[in-house]
Amino acid sequence: MIANDVLRRLRFALNLSDDEMIAIFKLAEHEIPAYHLYNLMRKEEEKGYVLCHDDVLARFLDGLIIHRRGAQEGKKPDYLPKGAQLSKNEVLRKLRIALELKDTDIIDMMKLADFEVSKSELSAIFRKRGHRNYKECGNQFLRNFISGLTLKYRTDLPKRKPQAN
């Protein structure tokens, strides 16, 4: 999943306007003009599409944490350096912090997206890289997490029908 997809899906899931997106970026000390935001939101095949780099997505997620939870007193955020890569595990970790989610909340959201995950699988994803039980988060897991997030936060959408087994 590329950063543009994550950014686009999160914007939809959290029902954020252009002004809110720009303000969230600004909280993380990243000025983004409206036209650039539009180009980040475009799909790859659309004219004007601009690739969203991982450091830009990380700034948005850091801004979302500040937006939802407030800035930490006396501590300056440790931003991802330009050109560095952001893992899907880190995306999940930042969303977990921003939305103040517990393991049970995430498991419930994954169920909304018809994706079963155990508590031990989840804890492996949130472990530090290098830990013997660390598990890399895959595209499917992140996609289903954001789908579950959408179903939980977008109450204005029609309810999904359960899939037949």
Determine the pLDDT at residue 158.
73
Domain residue extents for the chain: 3-73+80-153
Q: How many angstroms separate the CA atoms of 120 and 3, rounded? A: 27
Does this model's pTM top 0.75?
A: yes
Q: What is the DSSP letter of 124?
A: H
Distance of CA 15 to the CA centre of its chain: 13
Q: Rounded to the nearest 10 degrees, what angle do helices 88-98 and 139-153 cross at?
A: 20
Reported as a single tens digit per residue, the pLDDT across 36-86 is 999 999 999 999 999 999 999 999 999 999 999 888 887 777 888 888 899
Reported as a single tens digit per residue, the pLDDT across 102-134 is 999 999 999 999 999 999 999 999 998 889 988
Three-point CA angle 68, 72, 76, nearest 5°:
115
